[in-house]
Amino acid sequence: MDAGLEAMLIEQGKKAKKAARFLATASTELKNKALFKMAESLEAYEEEILAGNSRDLEEGRKAGLSSAMLERLTLNPSRIKAMADGLREIALLPDPVGEVLEMVRRPNGLDIGRIRTPIGVIGIIYESRPNVTADAAGLCLKSGNAILLRGGEEAINSNRAIAKAIAQAAMSCGIPEGAIQLVDSTDREAALYMMKMHEYIDVLIPRGGKGLKKAVQENAMVPVIMTGMGNCHVYIDEFADMEKAVRIAFNAKVQRPSVCNACETLLVHERIAPQFLPLIAEKYREAGVEMRGCARTRAIIGGIKEATEADWEEEYLDLIIAIKVVSSLEEAIEHINTYGTGHSEAIVTENYTHSRLFMVAVDAAAVYTNASTRFTDGGVFGFGAEMGISTQKLHARGPMGLRELTTVKFIIYGDGQVRE
Amino acid sequence: MDAGLEAMLIEQGKKAKKAARFLATASTELKNKALFKMAESLEAYEEEILAGNSRDLEEGRKAGLSSAMLERLTLNPSRIKAMADGLREIALLPDPVGEVLEMVRRPNGLDIGRIRTPIGVIGIIYESRPNVTADAAGLCLKSGNAILLRGGEEAINSNRAIAKAIAQAAMSCGIPEGAIQLVDSTDREAALYMMKMHEYIDVLIPRGGKGLKKAVQENAMVPVIMTGMGNCHVYIDEFADMEKAVRIAFNAKVQRPSVCNACETLLVHERIAPQFLPLIAEKYREAGVEMRGCARTRAIIGGIKEATEADWEEEYLDLIIAIKVVSSLEEAIEHINTYGTGHSEAIVTENYTHSRLFMVAVDAAAVYTNASTRFTDGGVFGFGAEMGISTQKLHARGPMGLRELTTVKFIIYGDGQVRE
């Protein structure tokens, strides 16, 4: 790779590491002061941020970005205000650092406990929505971590303006320069190099699609928390309440189809299918949802496409749903554990034992009985804000708030004890 | 790589994944029954295990293994009894699976909680000591995980006999075949392939030296928990109690120098050095410890080697210690955070503020005031047994017991809630 780019990244890594040591012992008071100042600064830099955003939108239009992409990229005064308010909310959340999780006195008189500490340097690779720049920086600062932000090419001018506004504000409060840094390169090599910076980055959080996931799996030498792959299912059990079933299956697909906690495949027990499928099909048709069904589904709902193996694997993120009739709860669980991405999975049932088995046997970050998968979200779960939704099993699973951006260490207090 | 080996590993991975789904809902009763049966079986297979061990020792001698290596490799009836008792102890520990960590009712009436669940399939790559085979299998079974065991070439015959004894016993209780599997290949390619089996292995735990760490960093596509790198320090503060200082500095180096929580570098504040260094030097000399000092150390203790940059980085695992005189607590912390591997670090001091700063600012799995680093151990910490000592920050840090072999998932109970 380009030697200049490598030198820049190493320099940023060193600065971040140094800043992380400062942040490890920074007071909550200082961090909160910086967060409020950063919020103020975002509002003060509104003009500059909107100018950067206009350039991004213009180039995006030239590059033929979809209208959905352009919508996600778009900033306006109220979105900037929302970013600023997000930082203020983070300031008001309790500081996770320093919490002692437990402490016990061992027989030899040692007091042994575990205390929450920052992780160190966090790298994030993300796309399109520029508000992630402010959210991620705020969450990392509050949890005592330095951050290296690597946003997408399509948002580079917006991200530059946002990062400048917040980093300067933080520095004006005494936070070191290395604490919040934009990796100012849209070169793909920069993202690949970040994946290998194990001397400088303690954890890398990729937020993106399959391509990014694959690149990370193949290249990362840094510990990684994968986020946001969501092939989610709703299973309508034979003992489902019909009204709840229709409501949840509809909401999980239609309310916001472009997000990772939306439902992609509907599984329906064969005993309830003849009654349920025509009801939901009518609602889906009204909402413009394209249905793709297995043979048994198509025997009940006419005029829909056939679902293939590829459909069970697909994360549509669109008004499309795959539908499969299953013969048992066990078949539904097996299907979910085979094709699911471990994000959010729901059963609709009035049967106690079926709920209990589903909740235990389904292997996912969030499992629901009688509620829409759409609730998997840091805000809804009460974390205030989130750094992404982890779909891996190590360290953090599901929405990642401030707590998930910390690690723990053992603290041991003695009176001169030695080991015999 | 060899197609037969690849096919074998994929087959084992598939079996493990299937077994993991069974174990996810297995009762504590069943798992404990299997653990007691496995213990019994180890004792019943004593002759076969010792025969395998004899072959390993013979080949080890031919291959010129060091006497320390041969000693670690050696089994005898009392060591087999200890392995069996280890499994019985694991059976008596509480089952971590199913514990609900917290559950809250959100304003919309959803009950949202987190529950401990098994991780799934755990791979472990380890060396020499064959008791790890039984310990790791027992811990994984109790925590509801399937395990793929890849021991070292030098212990292959011992491991085969141990794995056969415990896997058969577990199967006789109804645990599926895939739950405990030895990767029966000493080919390095087998270990490398395991690092890439992300479809089958949920987490890989390498236990070994720098070479293994490097191979994992460069090759792993599976999430990894690094263990056991221990460049540990004892810092003698200017306000140390002299008697405690000598006792702890001596114990941390000498009591068992070959293990990862032994002290490798002693840092001494300049104000206490003239008094402290002659005392500890005399004790180290008596115990046959080779000292390597900085210039200021050598001005106080005569006749010792000069410590170079390489010494600050070295994990000797032997009766050798590097000694450095520092001008301040801050210099000691900086040295530790620069050269330490994040394992175990101790300060000896009577000063409240110095203890407090050291405990917060030192970035390691275990930080001590006035106790020997040698205590970092699952047994000592009250976990019963350990899968290794994690020196990374994600997921688990320090000794890994049953709890660290679990993940959590969110469980959400509703009454038909949908997102507005």
- H/E/C letters for each residue in chain B? CCHHHHHHHHHHHHHHHHHHHHHHCCCHHHHHHHHHHHHHHHHHCHHHHHHHHHHHHHHHHHCCCCHHHHHHHCCCHHHHHHHHHHHHHHHHCCCCCCCEEEEEECCCCCEEEEEEEECCEEEEECCCCCHHHHHHHHHHHHCCCEEEEECCHHHHHHHHHHHHHHHHHHHHCCCCHHHEEECCCCCHHHHHHHCCCCCCCCEEEEECCHHHHHHHHHHCCCCECCECCCCEEEEECCCCCHHHHHHHHHHHHHCCCCCCCCEEEEEEECCCHHHHHHHHHHHHHHCCCEEEECHHHHHHCCCCEECCHHHHHCCCCCCEEEEEEECCHHHHHHHHHHHCCCCEEEEECCCHHHHHHHHHHCCCCEEEEEECHHHCCCCCCCCCCCCCEECCCCCCCEECCCHHHEEEEEEEEEEEECCC
Q: Is the model's pLDDT at A128 over the cut of 80?
A: no
Mean pLDDT of B308-323: 95
- Do B206 and B249 fall into the same domain? no
How far is B271 from A365, CA to CA, in rounded Å? 54
Cross-chain Cβ contact B359/A225 below 8 Å: no
* 8 Å CB contact between A398 and B410: yes
Beta bridge partners of B268: B236, B325
Q: Is the pLDDT of residue B213 over 90?
A: no
pLDDT of residue B210: 80
Question: B333 and B397 in one domain?
Answer: no
Q: Do B213 and B315 belong to one domain? A: no
Question: Rounded to 5 degrees, what are φ and ψ at B260?
Answer: -70, -20
What is the rounded average pLDDT of the residues B118-138?
94
The confidence score (pLDDT) of residue A229 equals: 87
Answer yes or no: is B201 within a domain: yes
CB within 8 Å of chain B, chain A residues 173-232: 198, 202-203, 217-218, 221, 223-225
> What percent of chain A is modeled with pLDDT above 90?
90
Contacts of A243 in chain B (CB under 8 A): 416
What pLDDT, on the 0 to 100 scale, is given for residue B156?
A: 96
Instruction: Decide if A420 is inside a domain.
Output: no
Q: What is the CATH number of the domain that holds A243?
A: 3.40.309.10
Backbone phi, psi, residue B318, to 5°: -155, 175
* Same domain flag for A70 and A200: yes
Residue B134, beta-bridge partner list: none
Same domain, A370 and A311: yes
Which two tokens mark A81? 């205000």
Which residues in chain B have Cβ-Cβ distances shorter than 8 Å to A217? 198, 221
CB contact under 8 A, A104 and B251: no
pLDDT of residue B384: 77
- Does pLDDT of B254 surpass 90? yes
Whether B209 and B355 map to the same domain: the answer is no
* Pick among A106, A108, A112, A115 to test the B interface (most B CBs inside 10 A): A112
Cβ-defined contact of B368 to A247 (cutoff 8 Å) = no
| Domain annotation covers residue A272 | yes
Are B417 and A375 within 8 A, CB to CB? Answer: yes
User: Which of A248, A370, A409 has its CB closest to that of B397?
Assistant: A409
- A415 has a chain B CB within 8 A of its CB: yes
- DSSP 3-state of A345: strand
Q: Using CB atoms, which residue from B21, B368, B417 is nearest to A412?
A: B368
Domain for residue A44, yes or no? Answer: yes
Q: Name beta bridge partners: B182.
A: B149
Assess whether A316 and A398 both reside in one domain.
no
A414 and B221 within 8 Å at the Cβ level: the answer is no
Residue A419 within any structural domain of the chain: no
User: Do the Cβ atoms of A375 and B412 come within 8 Å?
Assistant: yes
Verify that A267 and A175 share a domain, yes or no.
no
Within 8 A by CB and 6+ apart from A400, the residues are: A205, A225, A227, A378, A383, A386, A387, A388, A389, A390
| Most B CBs within 10 Å, among A234, A389, A390, A394, to test the B interface | A394
Task: Report if residue B39 sits inside a domain.
Answer: yes
**Interface contact flag, A361 B117, Cβ < 8 Å:** no
pTM (two decimals): 0.92
- Mean pLDDT, chain A, rounded, equals 95
Are A155 and A200 in a shared domain?
A: yes
287-326 of A, contacting B, C-beta below 8 A: none
pLDDT in tens, B355-380: 999 999 999 999 999 999 999 998 88
Is B24 in Cβ contact with A361 (below 8 Å)?
Answer: yes
Number of domains into which chain B is organized: 2
Tell if the CB–CB gap between B369 and A110 is shorter than 8 Å: no
Q: How do residues A362-389 score in pLDDT, each as one tens digit?
A: 999 999 999 999 999 988 898 878 899 9
Is the domain of A259 the same as that of A360?
yes
A417 domain-assigned: no
Range of the domain at B23: 3-227+387-412
CA distance A167 to chain B (A): 24
In this structure, the answer to whether residues A10 and A57 fall within a common structural domain is yes
CATH number for the domain including B93?
3.40.605.10
DSSP per residue over A222-286, as a string? S-B--B----EEEEE-TT--HHHHHHHHHHHHHS-TTSTTSEEEEEEETTTHHHHHHHHHHHHHH
- Establish if B412 touches chain A: CB-CB under 8 angstroms: yes
In a domain, residue A84? The reply is yes
What is the spatial order of strands in the sheet that A263-269 belongs to? A305-306, A290-293, A320-326, A263-269, A232-236, A344-348, A366-371, B406-417, B111-118, B100-105
Interface check for A34 against chain B (CB to CB < 8 A): the answer is no
For A375, the closest of B110, B252, B394 (CB atoms) is B110
Higher pLDDT, residue A307 or B129: A307
Are B347 and B218 within one domain?
no
